[in-house]
Amino acid sequence: MSSSDSAAQRVLRVGIIGCGEIAQVAHIPNINFLSHLFRTTYLCDISKDALSYCSTKVNGSVPKTTTDPEVLCSSDEVDVVLIANADAYHVEHGILALKHNKYCLIEKPASVCFRDLDRLIEAEKSSKGKVFVGTMRRFASAFVDAVKEVGGIEKILYARVRDIIGPNSVFVDQSGTFPQKFSDYSASDTEDRLKREDDIQRQALEKEFGVPVTPESKRMLRVLGGLGTHDLSAMREIIGMPRGVSGAMLTLPGIFSVLFDYGSFAVTYESGLINVPEFDAHIEVYSSDKIVRIEFDSPYVKGLPTLMIVRENIDGSGFQERKIRKTYEDAYTLEFKELYRCVVEGASPKTSAADARSDIELFRMILQADSDRYR
């Protein structure tokens, strides 16, 4: 058997930190489906009820459980650490995984402040493990193809990035995964999380961005780190980083708008949360003779395709539209397959911790552009 055949037979053992909604709806089911590549061997959460419930959802042998992330990360029964708990702990637990030379998939955002992300990047330098940030849209087949399609455009004239969606609870409730919420954790656990969140937000807004710290600016930063990371990370890959922000209307709750300056063209970014239960998320890039559009659907309903739509001028006066659905394999599945390749081959993921630093830079640009709103 060749070394490549041997590597293909290897099943990676996954330890999951955080047994909340995303673990129940996406991560545990996908690992179950990808049983030829992964197996969940360890679970960690502050809720013992969540641990008990999620243990029943894991296929194969019953995973070990713990409330201590150090125990999971140091276990010789864990090859890869999946960090899907509260955002405030992503960096701390990522550093723990790296300390024990484990690859770690960190749910986005890895961080919303430079201070903490730089600690993660520094920890990676002395580890055999690597950080893989879970911006899964960038692994969708249609998106990968669209990056190539746009790369062939001689001159971009304009682009639009949109992510206006209905209540996430609607998509979760209709996903067929029946996630449960648990509350058997202490007041000190909640207090610690809130204290960490406040420290991170103040570090980002006040010390790094120079933006007033208010409930509204904190909410905006949370939305950019949550929903916005998907859009902005994908935007960077397909058309690069902007020079700056020409203007912004950060009107939350509701829908906010940003105008990015790309020098020779502009990009509008519009996003927000409404009550209409639809998922309107796309990136559309315009040139003189071709328009390339990528349409994303809710990742919480498995198997919904990502589409690439190309509209173009044919022979000067003709029109052609192509709608390409390359696969029903969803972005989470493709992300896990790429994680597997990176771990087995010792490769660096494109969605690295260093790459995620550019997302924070975009958060800074956006919040500074309408900072007077918070004064």
The pLDDT tens digits of the residues spanning 69-98 come to: 999 999 999 999 999 999 999 999 999 999
DSSP 8-state secondary structure symbol assigned to residue 316: T
pLDDT band at 67 (very low <50, low <70, confident <90, very high): very high
pLDDT band at 8 (very low <50, low <70, confident <90, very high): low
Per-chain mean pLDDT for the chain: 96
Confidence check: pLDDT of 58 > 60:
yes
What is the arithmetic mean of pLDDT over 245-267? 97
**Burial of residue 30, with CB atoms counted within 10 A of its CB: 0-12 exposed, 13-18 middle, 19 or more buried:** middle
Q: Are 369 and 245 in contact (CB under 8 A)?
A: yes
Q: What pLDDT does 2 receive? A: 44
What is the arithmetic mean of pLDDT over 301-325? 96
Q: How far apart are CA 58 and CA 224, in angstroms?
A: 32
C-alpha distances (whole Å) from 317 to each of 94, 149, 288, 312 are 55, 21, 13, 10
Confidence check: pLDDT of 5 > 60:
no
Confidence check: pLDDT of 208 > 50:
yes
pLDDT band at 138 (very low <50, low <70, confident <90, very high): very high
pLDDT band at 9 (very low <50, low <70, confident <90, very high): confident
* 177-201 residue pLDDT tens: 999 999 999 999 999 999 999 999 9
* 261-286 residue pLDDT tens: 999 999 999 999 999 999 999 999 99
What is the arithmetic mean of pLDDT over 119-132? 98
Q: How far apart are CA 37 and CA 35, in angstroms?
A: 5
* 22-55 residue pLDDT tens: 999 999 999 999 999 999 999 999 999 999 999 9
Q: Which of 300, 291, 324 is nearest to 142 (CA)?
A: 324
HSE-up of residue 333 (Cα within 13 Å, Cβ side): 19
Q: Which two tokens stand for residue 154?
A: 């001689």
**Beta-carbon contacts of residue 37 (< 8 Å; ≥ 6 apart):** 11, 12, 336, 337, 340
pLDDT band at 294 (very low <50, low <70, confident <90, very high): very high
Q: How far apart are CA 307 and CA 284, in angstroms?
A: 12
Cα angle 360, 133, 279 (rounded to 5 degrees) comes to 80
Q: Which two tokens stand for residue 141?
A: 């087949």
